[in-house]
Structure 1
């Protein structure tokens, strides 16, 4: 019943158009008006039910006659569409400034697409000119749709969107005043990355989808993607630029001084997080809505809008990874590596489609490149230690700068233990010969061995053997202290620390033997005391031994009070150890000297230093000249 009623209504419209239209063109114009007024009067329906040639409308049953010759019908349809579409195309104002105009224009486009579908492929050679006319009209439609699409993309929202700066904000107003142009919304710098930006209002998204659907249907999907990408890319680029990070080529990065790059990398970290945690998900969501059910154009549009900015960020990371492996760069490289590593899980879903999956692979490749650079820095650190000159010695046998630098450097690096273990495991030893130690532990133990070898080579430069042992003790004790109670000690292991402490004790024993063994030997007088105490020969030997002892003590004191033991506890331990072997021997010698019969009465004049004096001189050793 309803269909029969529509047919009667259409027949009535056709009759009215025929009666009022004096010519064929006037009739077509009247039908165009009806078509724009009511969706039931589409040009397809009116054209298919319209009487043709010289036949009167009344001759058709129920006002509708089936036409077997379609060429005149299609010709009139195209001419009607041309007039209606040209009116919109020639307009100076945006079609989408009026919802009714936009709906009417899209209906014309739909009718034109349907007409082209009927003509393609042409049934006969006579249909070819009609198809050419229709396709030319379609190209004109698409050009105008591109303009409308671009205008909607760049249309400012009625109110600022969450997470987005409106062009009407104070900063944007100043920008417009300077540049003389309105600017599209740009994401503001943020600290919270758990948000999504709705850069376009829902009505704009609906309009964009309506246009995109027609352009894809007309075979202009790639042109639509290009317009979309160019506009949205500007949004993404400016959002990143607001963080202070400007695009730089690989050559510019690699030729920039490290002091500049060191300040640039924190901005890169923020930009990468904003790009991949906020902008990429937001743009993916927007593309999926604008190009809904238009695969693969949603993925292509997403790549067109985000890929250039992402490529710029990854180019910076690749250039940093390819730069010299200077150890000073380690900590910034770790920051970059951790940033990309932490981003990858979120990108597994966002970058899973055909065209965007390559970007995910590039992020992973950039992360691996930074990992290789980090491993290279540890190799360079080994070389730096190994080639540190052994010619120069430290006055007083104190702590060498290379020891201080390496231990503080490694200790600071171990604050990123989890990351460094992950990096080292990427290029671990042969899996068929697993080690009980982690690759990072092995690497650090090797660096400690290289450092120890370098220090031992430096110790041989000292002309005095005792001083070389003091030097080794100072540096060995410092190494042990820096390793203890830290991630470095946990990586090196308790056995390593025990071996290091035992080595320091051995150097201490070597120092005592090299310095004080001869001093104690002078105080050993065989046969003095007891029954032999009155021996005149024993008495004659003791003053000479006492003189030698005094000389030894004074010479050692003069030299070694200028030597340095940097660690206070080690200095105290060393003084106590020296006193433990010297003072008892000296006290016993003095006691025996005083017991040698009558000659003992003359002993006091040979005692230049009391036991307390000798103890005081020992307590002044290793102070670096301080008293």
Structure 2
């Protein structure tokens, strides 16, 4: 067999160290060697020649790039200057390692082994330098974002599709940029993997990992810092003013997506690639690199939830944080899937739990504040109370987080208050097959607490009709707000219809107590009245009662345009036709009387005009001046609530 053939047999780079060991231990009995005339007695000369050949081939290559012997080797990167030669260098080192393994088994004290060990140390120093330079000089190409781009052709395609088809130059330019970044990243990752595998198989895993961990951990830590995430303990969070803490929360929200999707995801991809040959190495490496930054990131929400004084307006930031973690749970579980990173996933889950607990407690506090509202002043004109506008504005904003709140209350539902209330109020299906969602019950309960408080406030009005108008105004505001927000999806159309009917009932009661005497003063059959005296009495009684009712009701206000028109039309239909019939039937008769003017004070048109002027009371009603029964009802912003919650 030619010498080249034997070299290939013994030192092929595709043969692992374990197989090399197996081959060397069975050299004397190899059938292949027997066919070429080699037996156990010829083994020393055979091994000597092969080992000698291997060392002779390795020495010039390794010495050329020895950092301690040549100036060029000290200032030049092997992989940067000549990648084909770099691959030959790796192949040479792998073959040297196999030769050393054979020598260690055959003659551990030979001079050849000492020579091989010396060459291996030189080679490893070279590879350590190359590994360090590659990680340092390629930071731009090995940053998590570039690695993430390389790993996801889908994201690249999506980003390119955003450009207009007509803008060919822009699209081509961006394709070239993406391709260039991807190619540079791919080359760097491939070379790092080549070096890492060579160093690990040669017994220099510790040196390789030390370099990798130091550089990559600094990149991750720097990335967390640049994203604006800082480490705060419980005491620091507790002492922060809300305005300052809110800015920190906003920074955290902005950082979360980039940290999970780019920073940690890119680091996991790179680590998996470079150390693909060893599951244990890539796990320990990734864990040590990311655990510090990830712990800071996922501990912050827990600290906020545990050390922030509860108040209704703060709940929105808490829900934003909950949504951020919840939305990224799949990526977090995938990226930190190692057993050694379970604490990171546990921390993210703990933060979710604490944020949920804060939310439930804050809503209970909100309920308590509403139920304990002790303001005694009545709203002039029976208008919409500021408690109604504030509570419904708050609930309508909360309803925008209905999906998040559903998860929070599903995870730890409160004791059902529904059972102590009539099913007709909730209007939910009440069966084991279709139980009411916990969050729907919660919102229905909070609205009920408000309505009960409004019932109490209505009793402060001395005039019964004004009390019913107050209830009609406020319930109408509640119904309109529900219809124009996500509350409708939570409470359901049946709930809205039921409370619409209650508004109509309040209006009916208002008309009965406010206008029934005026209506009853007119005879049901106007033409049946015969004597002028009787006619005069009816006119005088109507004048007095209408005057009193009109004067009393002139201060009343109905903010909802549709409700206002409905009430006026309804009252006019009850009064104007009867009065017109009576007026037309007896006007000529009364004109002949001496005191006609004081008796017949209102023409039917006058009555209509007076009624049409009702419910525009010139008073400030609650915290808003008017509202309309339409989906475009104006709602205060979250910022407005956060600046000054008035309950």
* Contact 2:144-2:264 at 8 Å conserved across structures: no
Shift in CA distance, 549/291, structure 1 to aligned 2, threshold 3 Å: same
**Match in the other structure for 1:533:** 530
Is 1:450 the counterpart of 2:415? The answer is no
Q: Of 368, 371, 393, which aligns to 1:383?
A: 368
Deviates more, 1:341-350 or 1:424-433: 424-433
**Match in the other structure for 1:311:** 295
* Contact 2:66-2:123 at 8 Å conserved across structures: no
Distance (whole Å) between structure 2 residues aligned to residue 301 and residue 446 of structure 1: 52
1:94-243 equivalence runs, <5 A: 97=78, 149-156=131-138, 164=146, 201-202=185-186, 204-209=188-193, 211-213=195-197, 216=200, 221=205, 224-242=208-226
Shift in CA distance, 203/612, structure 1 to aligned 2, threshold 3 Å: closer
SS at match of 1:296: helix
Q: Of 269, 274, 293, which aligns to 2:258?
A: 274
SS at match of 2:279: coil
**Match in the other structure for 1:563:** 556
Distance (whole Å) between structure 1 residues aligned to residue 99 and residue 484 of structure 2: 79
Is 1:621 the counterpart of 2:614? The answer is yes
* Contact 1:397-1:467 at 8 Å conserved across structures: yes
Question: 1:114: Cα distance to partner?
Answer: 8.1
Deviates more, 1:148-157 or 1:304-313: 148-157
Distance (whole Å) between structure 2 residues aligned to residue 226 and residue 402 of structure 1: 63
**Match in the other structure for 2:571:** 578
**Match in the other structure for 2:496:** 497
**Match in the other structure for 1:355:** 340
Shift in CA distance, 284/568, structure 1 to aligned 2, threshold 3 Å: same
**Match in the other structure for 2:171:** none
Q: Of 583, 589, 601, which aligns to 1:608?
A: 601
* Contact 2:189-2:273 at 8 Å conserved across structures: yes
1:22-33 equivalence runs, <5 A: none
Give CA-to-partner distance per residue, 1:243-271, whole Å, 9 cap, x none.
Answer: x5231414444544444444554543342
* Contact 1:161-1:198 at 8 Å conserved across structures: no
SS at match of 1:293: coil
Is 1:283 the counterpart of 2:267? The answer is yes
Distance (whole Å) between structure 2 residues aligned to residue 139 and residue 253 of structure 1: 52
Shift in CA distance, 554/435, structure 1 to aligned 2, threshold 3 Å: same
Gaps of 5+ in 2: 8-23, 25-40, 48-58, 148-157, 162-177, 417-430, 620-647
Question: 1:437: Cα distance to partner?
Answer: 1.9
SS at match of 2:339: coil
**Match in the other structure for 1:476:** 475
SS at match of 2:559: coil
Give CA-to-partner distance per residue, 1:446-484, whole Å, 9 cap, x none.
Answer: 111111112112222223222222221111111111222
Shift in CA distance, 4/437, structure 1 to aligned 2, threshold 3 Å: closer
* Contact 2:100-2:117 at 8 Å conserved across structures: no
* Contact 1:162-1:198 at 8 Å conserved across structures: no
Question: Normalised by the size of structure 1, how large is the TM-score?
Answer: 0.68
Question: 1:421: Cα distance to partner?
Answer: 2.7
Deviates more, 1:421-430 or 1:269-278: 421-430
**Match in the other structure for 2:282:** 298
Question: 1:86: Cα distance to partner?
Answer: 13
Q: Of 263, 286, 304, which aligns to 1:320?
A: 304
Q: Of 539, 543, 547, which aligns to 1:550?
A: 543
Q: CA RMSD in A?
A: 5.2
**Match in the other structure for 1:335:** 320
SS at match of 1:356: helix
**Match in the other structure for 1:392:** 377
Distance (whole Å) between structure 2 residues aligned to residue 473 and residue 615 of structure 1: 23
Shift in CA distance, 208/619, structure 1 to aligned 2, threshold 3 Å: same
Give CA-to-partner distance per residue, 1:170-198, whole Å, 9 cap, x none.
Answer: xxxxxxxxxxxxxxxxxxxxx96999986
Is 1:423 the counterpart of 2:431? The answer is no
SS at match of 1:154: helix
Gaps of 5+ in 1: 8-44, 46-60, 68-79, 166-190
Question: 1:564: Cα distance to partner?
Answer: 1.2
Q: Of 387, 403, 410, which aligns to 2:388?
A: 403
* Contact 1:225-1:301 at 8 Å conserved across structures: yes
Larger Rg: 1
* Contact 1:226-1:301 at 8 Å conserved across structures: no
Distance (whole Å) between structure 2 residues aligned to residue 113 and residue 599 of structure 1: 135
Distance (whole Å) between structure 2 residues aligned to residue 240 and residue 560 of structure 1: 65
**Match in the other structure for 1:467:** 466
Distance (whole Å) between structure 1 residues aligned to residue 440 and residue 589 of structure 2: 64
Distance (whole Å) between structure 2 residues aligned to residue 88 and residue 535 of structure 1: 130
* Contact 1:146-1:224 at 8 Å conserved across structures: yes
Distance (whole Å) between structure 1 residues aligned to residue 121 and residue 372 of structure 2: 71
**Match in the other structure for 1:177:** none
Is 1:245 the counterpart of 2:235? The answer is no
* Contact 1:109-1:141 at 8 Å conserved across structures: no
Distance (whole Å) between structure 2 residues aligned to residue 572 and residue 5 of structure 1: 104
SS at match of 2:352: helix
Shift in CA distance, 198/409, structure 1 to aligned 2, threshold 3 Å: farther
Deviates more, 1:110-119 or 1:227-236: 110-119
Q: Relative contact order, CA 8 A, sep 6+: which one is greater?
A: 2
* Contact 1:84-1:108 at 8 Å conserved across structures: no
Shift in CA distance, 208/557, structure 1 to aligned 2, threshold 3 Å: same
* Contact 1:393-1:461 at 8 Å conserved across structures: yes
Distance (whole Å) between structure 2 residues aligned to residue 192 and residue 384 of structure 1: 49
Shift in CA distance, 417/101, structure 1 to aligned 2, threshold 3 Å: closer
Question: 1:567: Cα distance to partner?
Answer: 0.8
Count of residue pairs the alignment pairs up: 531
Deviates more, 1:307-316 or 1:333-342: 333-342
* Contact 1:248-1:312 at 8 Å conserved across structures: yes
Distance (whole Å) between structure 2 residues aligned to residue 119 and residue 444 of structure 1: 77
Distance (whole Å) between structure 2 residues aligned to residue 578 and residue 439 of structure 1: 42
